[in-house]
Amino acid sequence: MTITRELFIGGKDVPALSRHTTEDRNPYTGEVYAVVAAGGPEDITRAVDAAHEAFPAWAATRPAQRRRILLDAADILESKADEAARLMAEEVGEVAVFARFNVTLAANILRDAAAAVTQPQGEVLATDTEGQLSLALREPLGVVAAFSPWNAPLILGVRAFAVPIAVGNTVVLKPSEEAPIACGLFLADIMAEAGLPAGVLNVVTNAAADAAEVARTLIADKRVRTVNFTGSTNVGRIIGGIAAEHIKPAVLELGGKNALLVLDDADLDYAVNAATFGSFNNAGQICLSTDRILVHRSIAEEFTAKLAAKVAALPHGDPIDPATIVGPLVNAKAAARVSTLVHEAVAAGATVRTGGHQPAGARLAPTVLADVTPAMRIFTEEIFGPAVVVLTVDDDEQAIAIANDTEYGLTAGIITQNAARGLAIARRLQTGIVHVNDQTVDDEPQAPFGGVKSSGYGKFGGRWGVDAFTETRWLTLAGHHTVFPY
């Protein structure tokens, strides 16, 4: 049965003013899973109206009340784990293990946001003015424009609004056209059930053809004070450019070309397990996914053989099947793009150690490539699919040089049995995140999350997220009348 959903504005489900709708398809079957309202610029304005109207009262809401709503929302989300997992399987092809992880981490992000309610802190400043009280205050900004992606819909949907509303802002959320329910409307339902007042969180879904106009209208609205976006670097450049044009700060969490360095002293079996998880979790459709494995020449062949054997045994196919580890890509176009990267590399001399073929539609067999060279597109472009390249290096210096030779700088992993060696290498990698003795995919709500270079700027998580969605103001109180020079 096809689901039908409308926009969520001012606490109510409302149709788009144009009455237009758009289809949301199951990537595995190709069938229409849902029909959602296709909002336009006029609906964005309605949503900002609602958020702007709700802001004063929400900003003045007692911290304990905001905390209770966020904690209740976390509990409600966990109680709907089965429903959420089914939704993510149907809407974006997520397999059970990753869908469950989405539920757990998204609930923990809500709980961490609840703890952040009282984190914004001010200071009493020194002053040369006699009798004056000088204060630096952290206060909410106002209306936040938020863009949530499809690939980890609950985690990244919740991250887009949880801390902003925790510290007193209101939000207009534009979810991905590939997952308008999972990373938007489903979460709005949960927040409403938890008691979030009308207008604090608003969700406007749209057709893909209208995405650019809808985004520009949202960011350009003078009542919107800041922007957060998680998605591709190409779109992030556009979002960041529009925000800069309107002199608005932005948090941009974008793509990565993430490297896992396997040093010559690594525990090979552990390294293979880590690399498999980092490369093929959620079919490689994570901004943190391991794209490149840099392995010391002395262990490269043994490592690659073991990796290929493990990857070849990964069950892939129907995301509804609880045994499936690698599901489909988000759509056939995405699968075809990754397949093209693989086939171009093979035609230019790369070796397929396992996989390399596209079974059907949005499916792509988990693939391991060796003998990849810098001339191949897959060497430099983010793969964002179930494929990884193994590159042989002669020493640590070469591994560091190759890892840093990219426009991206999101995350990296280092596998070694020498912690001091791993830490020394980690300090030299040009990424916002590094994990020593682990792979590239990790996330915790209290940690600073974000990249450098073309992987974006600004940070989600912990006090860094609080700082991103509040502003510092200077306030003085004169103890007596000031004596002016004229």
The answer to whether residues 355 and 367 touch, using CB atoms and an 8 Å cutoff, is yes
This prediction has a pTM of 0.96
Angle, nearest 10°, between helix axes 81-92 and 63-79?
70
- Residue 155 in domain: yes
Q: Looking at residue 433, what is its pLDDT?
A: 98
**What average pLDDT score do residues 298-319 get?**
97
* Mean pLDDT, range 431-441, rounded to an integer: 98
State mean pLDDT over 357-385: 94
Q: Are residues 428 and 343 in the same domain?
A: yes
Same domain, yes or no: 431 and 456: no
Q: Give the whole-angstrom CA distance, residue 152 versus residue 318.
A: 18
* Residue 442: inside a domain: no
Residue 361 domain-assigned? yes
Q: What is the pLDDT of residues 122-143, one digit of tens each?
A: 999 999 999 999 999 999 999 9
Q: What contacts 208, CB < 8 A, 6 or more positions away?
A: 22, 177
Domain that holds residue 299: 258-436
Provide the Cα torsion 206, 26, 441, 346; round to 10°.
-110
Q: What is the pLDDT of residue 134?
A: 97
Residues 289, 421 within the same domain: yes
pLDDT bin (cut points 50, 70, 90) of residue 241 is: very high
Identify whether 125 is part of a domain: yes
Looking at residue 140, its pLDDT comes to 98
Same domain, 390 and 470: no
Tell me the pLDDT band of 163, cut-offs 50, 70 and 90.
very high
Same domain flag for 10 and 123: yes
Taking 80 as the threshold, does the pLDDT of residue 52 lie above it? yes
Paired tokens of 359: 């079974």
- Pair 272, 368 in one domain: yes
The stretch 417-433 carries a mean pLDDT of 98
What CATH number does the domain containing 77 carry?
3.40.605.10
pLDDT in tens, 2-16: 999 999 999 999 999
C-alpha of 127 from chain center: 42
**Could you tell me if 454 and 430 are in contact, meaning their C-beta atoms sit under 8 angstroms apart?**
no
Q: Which two tokens stand for residue 386?
A: 């179930």
**Which residues are bridge partners to 293 per DSSP?**
260, 390
> How far is 249 from 253, CA to CA, in rounded Å?
13
Instruction: Let me know whether 145 and 199 are in one domain.
Output: yes
Tell which residue, 336, 318, 335, has the closest CA to residue 327: 318
Residue 371 has pLDDT above 90, yes or no: yes
Q: What is the pLDDT of residues 90-114, one digit of tens each?
A: 999 999 999 999 999 999 999 999 9
pLDDT attached to residue 483: 87
| pLDDT tens per residue, range 173-225 | 999 999 999 999 999 999 999 999 999 999 999 999 999 999 999 999 999 99
Locate 435 and state its tokens: 């994990």
Q: Is 444 within a domain?
A: no
Domains identified in the chain, total number: 2
Q: Provide mean pLDDT across the span 150-162.
A: 98
Specify whether 196 is located in the same domain as 313.
no
Residue 26 has pLDDT above 80, yes or no: yes
Confidence of residue 338 (pLDDT cuts 50, 70, 90): very high
pLDDT of res. 272: 98
| Residues 7 and 69 occupy one common structural domain | yes
Average pLDDT of the segment spanning 427-454 = 97
**pLDDT (tens digit per residue) in 261-307:** 999 999 999 999 999 999 999 999 999 999 999 999 999 999 999 99
pLDDT band with cut points at 50, 70 and 90 for residue 1: confident
Domain presence at residue 298: yes
**Arithmetic mean of pLDDT, 443-472:** 97
Say which residues have a Cβ less than 8 Å from residue 476's Cβ, sequence separation at least 6.
Answer: 127, 129, 132, 133, 134, 135
pLDDT at 233 over 80: yes
For the residues 418-430, what does the mean pLDDT come to? 98
Mean pLDDT for 455-480 is 96
- 445 within domain boundaries: no
What is the percentage of the chain residues whose pLDDT exceeds 90? 97
Provide Rg for the chain, Cα atoms.
Answer: 24
Residues 47 and 152 occupy one common structural domain: yes
Whether 359 shows a pLDDT value over 80: the answer reads no
**Domain shared by 217 and 322, yes or no:** no
CA distance 351 to 358: 16
Catalytically annotated residues: 253, 287
Do 160 and 182 lie in one domain? The reply is yes
- Which residues have C-beta within 8 Å of that of residue 455, sequence separation ≥ 6? 233, 253, 254, 255, 256, 287, 408, 409, 410, 431, 432
**What is the 3 state secondary structure string of the chain?**
CCEEECEEECCEEECCCCCCEEEEECCCCCCEEEEEECCCHHHHHHHHHHHHHHHHHHHCCCHHHHHHHHHHHHHHHHHCHHHHHHHHHHHHCCCHHHHHHHHHHHHHHHHHHHHHCCCCCCEEECCCCCCCEEEEEEEECCEEEEEECCCCHHHHHHHHHHHHHHCCCEEEEEECCCCCHHHHHHHHHHHHHCCCCCCCEEECCCCHHHHHHHHHHHHHCCCEEEEEEECCHHHHHHHHHHHHHCCCCEEEECCCCEEEEECCCCCHHHHHHHHHHHHHHHHHCCCCCEEEEEEEHHHHHHHHHHHHHHHHCCCECCCCCCCCCECCCCCHHHHHHHHHHHHHHHHCCCEEEECCCCCCCCCCCCEEEECCCCCCHHHHCCCCCCEEEEEEECCHHHHHHHHHCCCCCCCEEEECCCHHHHHHHHCCCCCCCCEECECCCCCCCCCCECCCHHHEECCECHHHHHHHCEEEEEEEECCCCCCCCC
Evaluated on CA atoms 174, 177, 182, 186, the torsion sign reads: positive
Segment 349-375 shows an average pLDDT of 93
Tokens of 383: 């793969």
Confidence of residue 358 (pLDDT cuts 50, 70, 90): confident
The answer to whether residue 25 is domain-embedded is yes
Contact 346, 246 (CB under 8 A): no
Q: Residue 264 maps to which CATH number?
A: 3.40.309.10
Write out the two tokens for 459. 């940070």
The whole-number average pLDDT for the span 135-153 is: 97
Cβ pair 412, 403 in contact under 8 A: yes
